[in-house]
Chains A and B, each alone.
Chain A
Amino acid sequence: MMALKVMNPGLFTTVQDMGRYGHQAEGFSPAGAMDWRAMMLANRLLGNDEGAAVLEMTLHGASFEVTKDVTIATAGAEMPVAVDGREMKTATVMPLMKGEQISFGGAERGARTYLAVAGGFTVPEVFGSASTHTRSGIGGFGGRTLESGDRLKAAGGNGASGTGRIRVFDDGDDVIRVIPGQQYDRFKENLDTFYGSGYRLTKDCDRMGFRLDGEVIEAAGGHDVLSEPTQLGSIQIPKNGKPIILLNDRQTAGGYARIATVALCDIPKLVQKRQGDTIRFEEIGVDRAAELYKAEIGKIRSDEYFEIDNDFKSHRRPLAGKIESIMKR
């Protein structure tokens, strides 16, 4: 069913899910929601499959006309949202009625907001995934970012009861934990620089990767290697000594020395950073990283991030909205 019509697509809005796995050997980038935790939380608020297709909105959100009654939920970066001009709460469930207009503003904290809809957005799947990879034009909505006039379909369903919201949690520190990478030994003499100095996100930070600026890290034995498969969070150090973190839309093979890999558990924190933010790397072992990741998934699945929202007045319900609009007349 048609659910939302795009009035304004925002800065960079794409359809994403868990990513397109199983075809990296053929060169297909996995793509997928960058902040996997926010995507899962938005879906769980609605009672969706945790990997149902969502919209990922970057820095400045989109505006939509509601073409059918539908329930949505948001998570991730804090973007102000208004329905027919009235400011609404974020990080919670929101029923929308046909004819309403919903618009998201600029992110006040974080970089990426996830918009889930009851049942998930439906787009033709490519290799079993709805994720958009804009560089190859594969997946999602026509393989591209959303444009004005696009009509988005949702699978529908009732969604959850609508009383849950995401507890405010602080993910704001600058520590990103990493696992030693493929060419770690080449950097043994320069680990103090890598771990001891902060690195700043440059303007060249997108779904493909983050280019960082800071103290130059030199490699003994050169910065080039034979092309090898890349991994999510691989930190490459090219000839100029400035780290590049490879992310969801990365090329599947790369030829630069890799000092470390960002731990999966800290990917959500990393991808909510913005240009100018500084991060610090901290080393952990791969077994510890696996434990942390499992613990994080466990926390999401046991709804530890949620709290009951009893604040009736500020919570959106279709009836409350109607009463309010009648009283205004």
Chain B
Amino acid sequence: MEVRQYAENALTIYMGDDIDEEVNRRLVELKKKIESLDIAGLGEIVISYTSLIIYFDIFKTDAGTIEGKLRDINTDALLEGGFEYRVVEIPVCYGGEYGPDIENFEENGLSADEVIDMHSGKEYLVYMLGFMPGFPYLGGLDEKLHKARLETPRVRIPAGSVGIGGKQTGMYPFESPGGWNLLGRTPVPLYDPGRAEPILYQAGDRIVYRAIDEGEYEDIKAEIEAGRYEVKIESGSDG
């Protein structure tokens, strides 16, 4: 654990220097641990690939006080006990108008059906969120699906689009310009201010894409509009 300070009201803790599932797990556990300490003046904690930032109110506490509390944490014991996370199922209609770039994988020797088989039905780890609200940085994409971004980025990618950019897969909660290869789209709003949890996942959780056809896409969309649809979220654990 390496503690650094780059702003008056924040401490940064480094736990590694590469994208690594175990580093992510340690960061998630460390965040929980720090939050459980009930430190006066503690603000939000933001996880990234190798570090987390702890914000604090400099009128209620200071960097030294928080560092002192951090030293009491046994970081070697962070991975003892089970690791609990959530598995969030995102239904995706692959191909067609929703996933116009799925055919491009023929260059990689993969048919659209093969791409769908490889991309759906497996757990992707949410390392962190950023870029835009609810945008997950996911790990676990099959190497055969790695694909460079489009040479000419699209001016408009619709919200809910699921795609691949380089070694990463992910989805756009908001409409945005972007150069990712689009595989499909989910009818589930990835940000919904009216939902109990406006964003469905956080760092350390897993996402599973389930392939659906256009009929089911429309059905889910109708259920969402009627306020009846519930996203399938299961709890997972290991360790």
Mask, B105-143, CB within 8 Å of A = 1, is 000000000000000000000001111111101000000
Smallest Cβ distance from B147 to chain A, in angstroms?
A: 19
Alpha-carbon gap, A318 to B213, bound state (A): 66
Smallest Cβ distance from B99 to chain A, in angstroms?
A: 23
Specify which of A28, A227, A286 is in contact with B137 (CB 8 Å cutoff): A227
- Stretch from B47-55, B82-90, B181-189 contacting the other chain: B47-55
Q: Is A244 an interface residue (CB 8 A)?
A: no
- Are the C-beta atoms of A293 and B58 separated by less than 8 Å? yes
| Set of chain B residues within 8 Å of A231, measured between Cβ atoms | 6-7, 10, 53
Specify which of A126, A226, A251 is in contact with B132 (CB 8 Å cutoff): A251
Smallest Cβ distance from A62 to chain B, in angstroms?
A: 27
Alpha-carbon gap, A255 to B50, bound state (A): 12
Alpha-carbon gap, A286 to B133, bound state (A): 29
Smallest Cβ distance from B98 to chain A, in angstroms?
A: 22
Which range contains the number of A residues in contact with the other chain?
A: 35 or more
Q: Is B103 an interface residue (CB 8 A)?
A: no
| Set of chain B residues within 8 Å of A232, measured between Cβ atoms | 7
| Set of chain A residues within 8 Å of B58, measured between Cβ atoms | 290, 293-294
Q: Is B203 an interface residue (CB 8 A)?
A: yes
Mask, B58-80, CB within 8 Å of A = 1, is 11001100000000000000000
- Stretch from A72-80, A149-157, A158-166, A258-266 contacting the other chain: A258-266
Q: Which residue of A lies closest to B135 (CB)?
A: A27
Smallest Cβ distance from B70 to chain A, in angstroms?
A: 16
Specify which of B6, B8, B48, B203 is in contact with A293 (CB 8 Å cutoff): B8
| Set of chain A residues within 8 Å of B63, measured between Cβ atoms | 286, 290
Which label, helix, strand, loop or mixed, suits the secondary structure of the A interface? mixed
- Stretch from A17-25, A52-60, A215-223 contacting the other chain: A17-25
Alpha-carbon gap, A24 to B5, bound state (A): 18
- Are the C-beta atoms of A253 and B10 separated by less than 8 Å? no
- Are the C-beta atoms of A228 and B48 separated by less than 8 Å? yes
- Are the C-beta atoms of A294 and B133 separated by less than 8 Å? no
Alpha-carbon gap, A290 to B58, bound state (A): 8
Specify which of A21, A22, A136, A293 is in contact with B133 (CB 8 Å cutoff): A136
Smallest Cβ distance from B81 to chain A, in angstroms?
A: 22
Q: Is A137 an interface residue (CB 8 A)?
A: yes
| Set of chain A residues within 8 Å of B6, measured between Cβ atoms | 179-182, 231, 234, 258, 261, 286
Q: Is B1 an interface residue (CB 8 A)?
A: no
Smallest Cβ distance from A19 to chain B, in angstroms?
A: 12
- Are the C-beta atoms of A264 and B46 separated by less than 8 Å? no
| CB proximity to B under 8 Å, residues A5-42 | 21-29
- Are the C-beta atoms of B55 and A286 separated by less than 8 Å? no
Most buried by B among A29, A234, A252, A263: A252
- Are the C-beta atoms of A229 and B7 separated by less than 8 Å? no
Smallest Cβ distance from B14 to chain A, in angstroms?
A: 10
| Set of chain B residues within 8 Å of A251, measured between Cβ atoms | 130-132
| CB proximity to A under 8 Å, residues B191-235 | 193, 198-199, 202-203
**Contact surface of B with A, Cβ cutoff 8 Å:** 4-10, 12, 18-19, 43-53, 55, 58-59, 62-63, 128-135, 137, 174, 193, 198-199, 202-203
**Contact surface of A with B, Cβ cutoff 8 Å:** 21-29, 126, 135-138, 179-182, 226-229, 231-234, 251-254, 258, 261, 263-264, 286, 289-290, 293-294, 297
Given A21-B43, A27-B133, A136-B133, 11 additional A-B pairs, CB 8 A: A24-B44, A25-B46, A27-B129, A27-B132, A135-B132, A226-B48, A231-B6, A253-B130, A254-B130, A264-B9, A289-B8
